[in-house]
């Protein structure tokens, strides 16, 4: 969820190296977080040798193209689509995601008509090989039959079937109370039937603000499916990542086939200047040998849901049982080896 965001291209103070702190720790082999000074709800996808990046801009959608995510600040975030004025999707564009499905590009984003109660999810399509080129065509609203408040849409591809997962309200007007929902997709812009609720805040760490949002799919090397999500309100420093695990051979539409981890899998670490880390996505290193997490966090406590949230990346590992081990936030300014195989 986003309350206030910047509508400017990335500029201003570079938070990666505070003034007067000695030699720059960013080198040919190392980088430091954050990778941009601002960027709520960061999303990365790799296609071929390029990575494509986006984050919440509020009044438009922008994409950056790079071969090196750790050098993202060198790649401009160019506007690829701006909504027309006076529609149900003209304002408060949140958490865009770029997906490549059946040979075409799709962007999923939330938007409203200036009133948050009217937030819904929408889809754009582009047939160009490079999503920073070509024409983005508005396909319309994507909703199940209930058509309730909805944000943070993402796609699960599982056993040849597409599923859409998002954060929504149970009723018509439930501000501040969000659950995770899923529905089958008949194509990349259409849902079938009624949604099923996969998760709602149940543990104490999910209840500082009764929010489950920002669902993201992660698969291990054997294809096991994990759903990592953000819990508690983004306006608090308790904002953290939780995880659901789909049982092997399970049906994603059956809530009982998912198991929620009892503790957050990634959370605030004041010593690392990482407050309210969340709304993440995942990517692999250029050579495919490493798994990486991208997320936003505030560098100072109690900064909430604004454009002070900055994107950070770090590698993660896997436990012996096949579950991800996201670790804990790496401190801002601490050198991190660049992703394996990355070249300038």
Catalytic residue of the set 10, 41, 152, 307: 41
Q: Quick check: is 112 catalytic?
A: no
Contacts of 139 (CB under 8 A, 6+ apart): 106, 122, 123, 124, 125, 188, 189
Measured CA to CA in angstroms, residue 139 lies from 46, 123, 132, 142, 280 at distances of 23, 5, 18, 9, 26
Per the CB < 8 A criterion, the answer to whether 256 and 316 are in contact is: no
Closest CA to 130 of 40, 9, 45, 217: 45
Q: Quick check: is 174 catalytic?
A: no
Closest CA to 318 of 291, 284, 293, 288: 291
CA atoms within 13 A on the CB side of 266: 31
Distance (Å, rounded) from C-alpha 102 to C-alpha 77?
25
Q: DSSP 3-state assignment of 83?
A: coil
Catalytic residue of the set 112, 152, 206, 213: 213
Sign of the four-CA dihedral 226, 271, 201, 303: negative
Closest CA to 190 of 101, 255, 113: 101
Contacts of 229 (CB under 8 A, 6+ apart): 167, 180, 199, 212, 213, 214, 215, 216, 241, 242, 243, 244
Residues involved in catalysis = 41, 213
């Amino acid at each position: 969820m986003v309350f206030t965001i910047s509508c400017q291209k990335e500029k201003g103070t570079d938070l990666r190296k505070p003034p007067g702190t000695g030699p720059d720790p960013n080198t040919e082999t190392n980088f430091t977080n954050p990778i941009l000074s601002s960027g709520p709800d960061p999303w990365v996808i790799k296609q071929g040798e390029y990575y494509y990046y986006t984050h919440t801009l509020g009044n438009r959608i922008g994409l950056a193209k790079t071969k090196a995510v750790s050098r993202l600040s060198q790649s401009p975030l160019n506007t690829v689509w701006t909504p027309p004025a006076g529609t149900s999707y003209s304002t408060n564009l949140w958490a865009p995601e770029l997906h490549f499905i059946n040979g075409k590009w799709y962007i999923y984003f939330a938007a409203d008509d200036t009133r948050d109660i009217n937030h819904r999810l929408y889809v754009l399509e582009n047939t160009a090989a490079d999503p920073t080129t070509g024409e983005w065509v508005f396909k319309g609203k994507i909703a199940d039959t209930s058509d309730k408040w909805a944000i943070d849409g993402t796609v699960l591809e599982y056993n040849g079937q597409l599923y859409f997962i998002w954060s929504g309200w149970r009723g018509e007007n439930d501000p501040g109370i969000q659950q995770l929902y899923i529905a089958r997709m008949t194509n990349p812009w259409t849902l079938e039937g009624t949604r099923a609720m996969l998760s709602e805040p149940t543990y104490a760490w999910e209840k500082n603000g009764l929010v489950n949002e920002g669902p993201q799919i992660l698969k291990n090397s054997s294809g096991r499916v994990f759903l990592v999500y953000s819990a508690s309100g983004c306006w608090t420093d308790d904002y953290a990542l939780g995880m659901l695990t789909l049982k092997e051979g399970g049906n994603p539409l059956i809530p009982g086939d998912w198991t929620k981890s009892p503790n957050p899998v990634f959370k605030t670490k004041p010593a690392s200047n990482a407050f309210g880390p969340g709304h993440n996505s995942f990517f692999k290193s250029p050579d495919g040998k490493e798994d990486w997490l991208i997320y936003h966090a505030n560098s100072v406590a109690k900064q909430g849901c604004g454009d002070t949230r900055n994107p950070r990346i770090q590698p993660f590992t896997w436990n012996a049982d096949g579950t991800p081990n996201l670790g804990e936030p790496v401190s801002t300014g601490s050198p991190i080896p660049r992703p394996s195989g990355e070249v300038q």
